[in-house]
Structure 1
């Protein structure tokens, strides 16, 4: 399914998230208002009956007609009038309402690079008692709101999902009705003073379960439990969808790859230590942005791939440095509403462009916009550990790992905590966290050379030597000159602590 947004006048409505914007600024219309407006727009100028609108706005409920009148009046107030002075929503006497303008295909449908779509279905109460209904609704609304902050996938509104559930019995039919690939289902069971929440994520077309989890708490801490469940589920959903999408792209035939597929194929290569794999990641991402020059996530990832070549590889030429900064600037411009794109762009501007203050400010905005995205949190933390507030960086890394221990970047998060200790000259703690990073991914080069540096500072010669041997087994090209080259980066005195430790550990010149 390709995400479609409805554009009319100065307004843009995203029917999947239920967000209405005017001149780029979000407006408050509520989930029911969004469901009603979507139903009216999708009728393409045809009248929509009140019964149909009740089903879309209040699925499965019996409500008085006045409720619909109130919602329509609120929408009219937000929308105002057209350039010709007419109401956007016209009343059809004794029948219902009609949206004034029939939307044409093309400039009124704003297509974006296709993204996976997830629906969060209403959580069930297996007991049938109904005393957990308000808590279940709160959990679902919290999950939808948190997932809506991600730009790597879209999430349908809770009312749209509820309407589909009311009309269909099987998960396959629900997914087909909504046009989504992923379904999040769950249940809430209350027994005395205890509450149990169960949830599972399905890849509906393949009829496979990606994960299942259970959470428990007490009634006295219900609101705290709601927040913890929401945070934990969101932390599990994002990496599960990312892994599933990468695998889906890997299975596609090369001739059928589009920009999004190329982007997905580059992601696992991007995180390897092999120079040839990093070069292939850059090639795929450059091909991706040639196919779609306005794909902000692809632009940001391409800029990051060049930076990784500098950090973990042979370095960058002046041409590559300019290209990385060019890609980052364009990504930040086009993806200003995508916290992950903003965070990646900020990293490049700090590390490659030396724009410390601007980059840290961008990262702070990205973290505020999506505090549940492990990549955003880890980049905010990483840049603070390198060039900003060490303790703030460390605490943010810990938060990132707490909310998403299964994240694709978890080994980098653990490594970041290690670096924060090493830069604070707490070398024993640096060893502990580096070893945890290695346990999560034993092929990650940076974990091994960070461990070697910590052992070097501690004077543990034999362990330092063994770590260096592993570094050279993974990257035979790596020499002290590589780390001395990083002296040109902001706050290079922190890099120097790492370099001094590696020299003591015996990394060759």
Structure 2
């Protein structure tokens, strides 16, 4: 990642050219005019204003404005466009924001303190009295450290970088009780100094507090995605209580004073906004691991619970710092940051070879590199070894079991992966990532009711994260509850109208609902908006093929195939080959057979083998492969009914028997889901 320009501190109000910026209110004001800024636009303006006059690289802006998410250049460009519109600026003749082609942006005006304001950032001494305008997320494709096969594709990571304000969706269980004081959110610690290196400390302490408190039985800790979404959009404590159902809020700040680090924390009762506990921790910047553990133990004690033991393996202070920075880089989900994260985790292990958290982090980063960035598949074996080494050092470390599950998942060993995810959830009752991964494996195994229950548990812990909601929608689609699935998807789409993954799933929903004309319109919009998102082109290709538009399907698959390595490109290449007349080549068949053999529990790969054999008119072998896919959980009825490759099989008794078996299984799952939906699920 490029070096950061020197940053300046900003007051809560400042002058920028003709505009007066009010950070707390999220407004731009000048004579006779006031403009409200969405949260992301405000965050982008502040990121530029802190480095006014300097070139700010696009990667720096994306990392700061969309923390822990991956967004494309197009997302940043669209947000810059919206910010320019608010400032009434022009790209061709800029007064405020200049584009440095191919590199980033520069704020031309320098912020000036208002006469009644101090320039220095003030410590957090009270809950924010006004909220920044609610963010309308500018969302695009990203990858997360969790495995997400898509509605149409099988093995696809969840590619969505999001800052969603979902609140509680309509299918959330009704809860009229007072907020539970043991339902807790840890807000991102505010950095009150201009040393950018300390941001890693602030974010790292926040992350570790969430992880360690989450392992404590008796607490219900809001997961990291939801917590970190408040980094650039403060909320009053009462608003957090209403929005998230939390009874307790932990907030605070980190400040550097010469060589000393000052951490100030407050625990607030959300029911009456009274401070239950506050404390300042001072140190020389060393001893961060002990500091974080002491804080977690004191918070747990105030809440009347005992902090769970924290098996992390042997480590020292430098190893802990390397781990913190490596985790922050890993969660940015870019190729460069992934490589940096692996290097930092390795540096941590050089200092402390038995540091289980660093081993687990290296396992996750290695798995991510294989799937998302095209690293050799053989590295999954390395990832598994790192995870199992972490478990050997610290058998009770949830992160290690989740990392093991991810490596096994990507290798196609779904049953073993499911065991690892469940073990991680047992060790850390609030581990939303492990629950989401578990829900995905259950869904792909055709265990829809279990998948729905598990996804709902994850959404209770991470209510502003869309992933669990999208899994629920896919489960409902698969079981034939199309109305309920549509309601969930429409709510997510209202909150994140530009989310590529949500829109792709919505297109699949329209296909399942047989609304092919509308699906074509939505898919066209999707590929125009997210031209670099391979799953969107594959979805559009599938739709064109189902409608008998083979030339168009070939064009769309070609676009997806050109976008690099990974399962999305592999699927597109397979579809292109199957669009050609005649039998598939021996090379293609051998490749598909090899992929299926490497992942014998992967229903999608078995289905792709069935497609290839069916296209080659090897009917018996094709039906055997299809039977295996159905037994493993493949349940896309619409594809089996409308895919032209299966056209000649529709009247065959064996094919009809397999379809009847699938329908019976889905009917059973539908019956299991019915009482969950009636009760609100959970």
TM-score interval, smaller chain? 0.3 to 0.5
Q: Name the structure with the higher helix share.
A: 1
Q: Which has the higher contact order (CA 8 A, sep 6+)?
A: 2
Q: TM-score, normalised by structure 1?
A: 0.47
Q: TM-score, normalised by structure 2?
A: 0.36
